[in-house]
Amino acid sequence: MNLTLPPDVSLQPATLRFLNTTPKKLLIGGEWVESTRRETFATLNPATGEELAQVALAGPEDVDMAVQAARDAYEKGTWGKLSGEERGQLLWKVADLIEAHSDELAELETLDNGKPFRVARNGDVPFAVRHFRYYAGLAGKIEGATIPVSIPNQFVYTRREPMGVVGLIIPWNFPLLMCSWKLAPALACGNTTLLKPAEETPLSALRLGELIQEAGFPPGVVNILTGPGMPTGAAIVAHTGVDKVAFTGSTEVGREIMKNAALSNLKRVSLELGGKSPNVIFADADLGKAIRGANWAIFSTAGQECVAGARLFIERPIYEQVIEGLAAEAQKIRVGNGFTPKIHIGPLISEKQLQRVMGYIASGRSGGAQLVTGGERLGGELGSGYFLSPTIFAHQDDSLPIVQEEIFGPVVAATAFDDWDELVQRANDTHYGLASGIWTQDISKAHRFAHALKAGTVWINGYGYFDAAAPFGGYKQSGFGREMGKDAIELYTQVKTVWVGL
Ligand code: NAI
Ligand code: MG
């Protein structure tokens, strides 16, 4: 392991110990094991390009063993005999353990993903804790209903039963948090799980696996399979012993997953996919707040967020002023190694992602959009990492790829609009429908916009808020199913109707 850190930064001894245990193993049936084929892959630090660890690459045989372990745990083990409240107690212990290891988990997140340590420590990690606590509380409160029917002497009630064995496939932008979004409700509902973190960021999921073991979950309830989409993710999706797959990632892979789920055993699927969210600033907005909000909506996490406010619509009279203000804000953003104090955003996740984003920047320029600021890979001491300056395009052509396609980088496409009908039509002119934002002091306009937008989330005078209690998910090709809140119970349970002759 090579570990170049900014001056005066040192890691927790526990983090170093964790990194030095290599290759990282798979968690199958309560044991940490090497992959059957002894294959491994490297996970890199995107701030430096250095290898952090070798990680076991799960092949189809390993997936098979994990499915068997999860099936046994589901059908035969003690897990199925636990009450919801008892499952909740285990989840609460996980929350406590994550909290107790916050610094270490945040360090792993910054090393593996690149995000600022401050953000991981004060955002991702506590939010993961909150998730486990929310679903710990909900685990004992999953209810059916009694249903009045028109047939005499029949008493009908429903039960919400677990799906069984569920596969959880996770992206790299919020590694620990996305694991929590999926694991906590899946376990609260009584399923057993196969968790596949993204190949770019497996480390915090593996550390979480150790904490889950420590919390005392029965073997096989949580299995962790590291590896890339091919073969690891695809083997989970194709497996007939898996009852449901919950996925967050690209729309392209989501489509593939839905197809392969259908072709195997019609396993249930929920998909949280890409976005190209419109963010709208009206002339009557509190402009200071709106500009700072729009800046953060696109540039936080270096734009690598499914909800990134990537299409900015500005009402014509304030267009110039907002563009200027936004450019000034963007130029103040400090990009760098996530361990450097006072850094706002880190690198992109990989050289591949950087090249992809640079490709979009080139296409924006050649397509006639005006590059207002940014657009450059950062060099010097950041040159070995995957750093890009916050980038603003101004344009008048909604058909450009930078306006239509998910870039997943720090690139915003800003444009002016003149009237309401035009705005609603253009804001909805996308295959995606994940999120949206509006800045205005006119409360009626704000609500009308919220109702007119074909998107799963609308933020009014704010952007990017999430809470374990608030449902989240997509319209259109941003996917389906709602994670978080009570709605997530629908993703991880199925309804059984029981008829009783009286
Ligand atoms: P991806 O969709 O390929 O990866 C997400 C997860 O799916 C990873 O765990 C990956 O190993 C797994 N996966 C990949 N192919 C699979 C398959 N055939 N079967 C089962 N699992 C599979 O995303 P990637 O390549 O990391 O990023 C490419 C683009 O996807 C990004 O530029 C961005 O536009 C979008 N993306 C969107 C995310 C979101 O939160 N909406 C998250 C990650 C990526
Ligand atoms: Mg990595």
Pairing outcome for strands 154-162 and 146-147: antiparallel
Q: State in Å: Cα 247 to ligand 1 middle.
A: 9
Residues of the chain with pLDDT under 50: none
Atom of ligand 1 nearest to the CA of 272: 41
State residue 209's pLDDT score: 98
Residue closest via CA to ligand 1's atom 42 equals 249
Rounded Cα gap, residues 168 and 182, in angstroms: 7
Interatomic CA distance for residues 333 and 344, integer angstroms = 6
H helical segments located in 343-418 = 351-366, 401-404
Ligand 1: which of 195, 236, 250 to mutate, most ligand atoms within 8 Å of CB? 250
Strand partners of residue 458 = 436
Distance from the alpha carbon of residue 153 to the mean position of ligand 1, in angstroms: 52
Point out the ligand nearest to the CA of residue 174. 1
Q: Answer whether 172's CB lies under 8 Å from 115's CB.
A: no
pLDDT at residue number 21: 95
DSSP letters, 121-140, are IIIIHHHHHHHHHHHHHHGG
Q: What is the CA(393)–ligand 1 centre distance, in A?
A: 26
Q: Which helix (H) or strand (E) holds 45?
A: strand 40-45
Longest Cα–Cα distance of the chain, Å, equals 80
Choosing from 43, 201, 253 the residue with most ligand 1 atoms within 8 A of its CB, the one to mutate for a pocket test is 253
H or E stretch at 298: helix 287-299
Residue 1 pLDDT: 73
Contact 24, 58 (CB under 8 A): no
Q: Which ligand is nearest to the CA of 349?
A: 2
- Tell me which residues are annotated as active site: 272, 306
Contact, 289 vs 461, CB < 8 A?
Answer: yes
Q: Please give all residues whose beta carbon lies within 6 A of any atom in ligand 1, as ranges.
A: 169-173, 196, 198-199, 228-230, 233-234, 237, 248-250, 253, 256-257, 273-274, 306, 353, 356, 406, 408
463 vs 222: CA distance, rounded Å: 34
- 243 Cα: distance to centroid of ligand 2 (angstroms): 30
Strands 165-169 and 146-147: unpaired
Tell me the C-alpha distance between 444 and 162, whole Å: 42
- 308 and 298 in contact (C-beta within 8 Å)? yes
Please tell me the predicted confidence (pLDDT) of residue 372: 98
Which of the ligands is closest to the CA of residue 198? 1
Task: For residue 170, give the ligand 1 atom closest to its CA.
Answer: 9
Given a contact cutoff of 8 angstroms between Cβ atoms, the answer to whether 142 and 495 are in contact is: no
Residue 168 CB neighbours (<10 A): 27
Can you give the pLDDT at residue 2? 77
